[in-house]
Amino acid sequence: MNTSPNLFDIDPEPIHDVGEAPAAQATRRWPYLVVIGGVLAFEIGLHLALLPALPVSRLLSFGAGAEVMIALLLSTILVMVQSRELPTRVHLFLTVGLGLWLVSATADVMDEIVRQPIWVSAFVEDVPRIAGMGLASLGLLALIGHSGRMMRELRLLSLREALTGLGNRRRFKQVVAQRQSLGYALLLMDLDHFKAVNDRFGHAVGDEVLSRVADVLRELAPAGSESFRLGGEEFAVVAEPLTDSELEALARRLCRSVAALRPREDLSVTMSVGAGHSRPDEPPLELMQRVDRALYRAKAEGRNRVALAGA
């Protein structure tokens, strides 16, 4: 056991990005650029083949330069969309929208090179631009919604321990800080001789034991309480204020339920518990120290038992 009085000074491990795009999926999206590039080449070829040329000086105007920059910017964004991991709907909206918008931008550039009839300006410039901007806007809105959902999920994951789904150290500190002014009961629990379980049966069985202990805490912890895995074989429950008898009864019930677990026929697990109440204006660290001493006392007196925190 290594529950530390300095728990409140320990920063949780950072969340690592595990959602990077598979290379195969990114590769499958590059053909979109080939299709759009073919459409643009066909558009440029038709302009040059069928329409009369304008004086070259038009290419040197400020307006022509701005139109070229817009086309290059849209092309860059389109390439970036193909090289990023995006939800299918977002990718489709952005790709088609930017592609249509780029068709319109290309027609704008060609308008500085050849003499376009009015119908080309209307149907090759304006219509694709409006449709492309609309679809790209839908893609952007869908991306904003997706990003918001991902941020909420990341916030949730940052407060949960991966194996058991219980609150982690970060969540534990939040809950204790929220309840400090109202008072709370704290139970610190440590599985007895858990290293021997991993050494004899392997870590897969050890993980199963931890998950089943977490299920016990979720099932038996009273309403209004929250359970945590603080690390290794260390667990905690933060509950609303209880009487000494209620707190001891809860701790003993948790001990009996864990002792009744049989992950394997030849494997039994026990747990020692230290429990205590917060006092008015008592810093969380002081309660942690008192309950931690009680937990050590329970282990020193033979394990698989409960000890209440004193002064």
Residues marked as catalytic? 233
Strands 226-231 and 306-308: unpaired
Residue from 198, 199, 226 nearest 210 by CA:
198
Backbone angles phi, psi at 232, to 5 degrees: 60, -125
Helix axes 88-110, 127-157, angle to 10 degrees: 150
DSSP one-letter string for 76-112:
HHHHHHHTS---HHHHHHHHHHHHHHHHHHHHHHHTT
Residues with Cβ < 8 Å from 149, sequence gap 6 or more? none
Residue 12's Cβ-side half-sphere holds a number of Cα atoms within 13 Å equal to 20
